């Protein structure tokens, strides 16, 4: 269960020899810059008691300088690591607007008994749809055709021969909620599907029509690879030089998960030498990109970390994040706790 908060505390102030009790309101910080407004979070959090303070910062250093010992942090993209937790001794929870929690040091939070919340279900439909859009755009050469026709061309063989999807093997890396939904969509094209996820059993994969494989085998067997695993220490640069070396030629790679899962210099070389024929990327190592050579390649389709977005998903994101915090403050266990052991 969460802790039940009285949304204020008393501080004793001494002025000219007189002791005075001052009522201090508890504060939750919302940090980030991508939301059009924060009315939903403010309403849900403040109905539960604390004041919600919005701080427009992008770095953990700015966060520490700008905030005054909040009981909670709601982060969209600002890192919350051990140094932030040490700076705020009253911190009782961290809430992430999103599925991935790679911007939070979950281990440090767990050691301090601080629960970390996320919103894993708000954009499944959108990410699945975007993944399929990137996959089909690459396989059917949509972007290349569009550019050619608008430049005066009219050549259906512009990009060389195209094969039916039903002749392909699709490798799905990560069989969580999004990966499973991608499988449901892609199996309608009558493809063979192999999956890599060390946390999902062979039997579970078979229930979805997926053949379980180790990572190297998936790379060797797949004509199309789509990535849906979280970014962790074990998945950072999972697609490195050795992974690309184990692939055949002409692979399509789709990544709508996290940019850090793919080693971009290695991917660039793999595209140039033909190992990867097409790449569809919604995420990059650095966002917005600084100097990413992949952007100069015609057979790499890039979108601006937009797979999550629809107006419906945005509203659901704000509702889920606000409810997580409000539930915890009221003494209930939030629906989505990453390190659930701290609230058991």
Known catalytic residues are 258, 287, 305
Residues 6+ apart with CB under 8 A from 29: 52, 53, 55, 63, 67, 70, 72, 73, 74
Which residues have a Cβ under 8 Å from the Cβ of 121 and sit 6 or more positions away?
A: 177, 316, 320, 336
Angle at 215 (CA atoms; ends 209, 217), nearest 5 degrees? 75
Q: Which of 96, 53, 100, 106 is nearest to 76 (CA)?
A: 96
* Three-state SS sequence of 38-56: CHHHHHHHHHHCCEEEEEC
Give burial (CB, 10 Å; 0-12/13-18/19+) of 281. Answer: buried
Helix (H, G, I), strand (E, B) or coil at 78: coil
Please name the residues in contact with 54: beta carbons below 8 A apart, sequence gap of 6 or more. 30, 31, 38, 42
Q: Are 103 and 79 within 8 A, CB to CB?
A: yes
302: tokens are: 């890039």
Query: How far apart (Å, rounded) are the C-alpha atoms in residues 198 and 165?
Result: 27
Residue with tokens 């961290």: 94
Task: Read off the DSSP letter of residue 8.
Answer: E
Measured over the CA atoms of residue 263, residue 268, residue 274 and residue 276, the dihedral's sign is positive
Per DSSP, the chain holds a count of helices (H) and strands (E) of: 12, 14
CA–CA gap between residue 316 and residue 234 (Å, rounded): 30
d(CA 51, CA 73): 12
């Amino acid at each position: 269960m969460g802790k039940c908060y009285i949304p204020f505390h008393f501080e004793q102030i001494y002025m000219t020899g007189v002791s005075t009790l001052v009522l201090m309101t508890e504060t939750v910080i919302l940090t980030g810059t991508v939301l059009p407004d924060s009315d939903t979070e403010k309403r849900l959090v403040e109905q539960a008691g604390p004041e919600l303070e919005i701080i427009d910062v992008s770095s953990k250093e700015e966060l520490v300088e700008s905030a005054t010992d909040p009981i909670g942090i709601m982060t969209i993209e600002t890192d919350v690591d051990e140094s932030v937790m040490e700076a705020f001794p009253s911190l009782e929870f961290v809430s992430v607007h999103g599925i991935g929690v790679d911007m939070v040091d979950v281990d440090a939070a767990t050691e301090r008994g601080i629960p970390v919340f996320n919103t894993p279900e708000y954009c499944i439909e959108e990410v699945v749809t975007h993944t399929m859009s990137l996959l089909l755009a690459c396989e059917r050469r949509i972007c290349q055709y569009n550019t050619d026709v608008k430049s005066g061309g009219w050549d259906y063989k512009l990009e060389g021969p195209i094969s039916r999807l039903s002749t392909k093997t699709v490798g799905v890396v990560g069989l969580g909620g999004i990966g499973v939904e991608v499988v449901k969509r892609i199996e309608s094209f009558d493809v063979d599907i192999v999956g890599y996820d060390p946390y999902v059993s062979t039997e579970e994969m078979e229930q979805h029509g997926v053949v379980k494989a180790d990572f190297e085998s998936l790379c060797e067997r797949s004509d199309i690879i789509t990535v849906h695993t979280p970014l962790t220490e074990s998945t950072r640069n999972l697609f490195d030089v050795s992974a690309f070396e184990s692939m055949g030629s002409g692979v399509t790679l789709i990544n709508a998960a996290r940019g850090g899962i793919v080693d971009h210099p290695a991917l660039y070389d793999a595209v140039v030498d033909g190992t990867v024929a097409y790449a569809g990327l919604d995420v990059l190592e650095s966002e917005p990109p600084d100097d990413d050579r992949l952007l100069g390649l015609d057979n790499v389709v890039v979108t601006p970390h937009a797979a999550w977005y629809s107006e419906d998903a945005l509203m659901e994101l704000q509702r889920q994040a606000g409810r997580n915090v409000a539930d915890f403050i009221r003494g209930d266990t939030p629906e989505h706790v990453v390190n659930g052991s701290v609230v058991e």
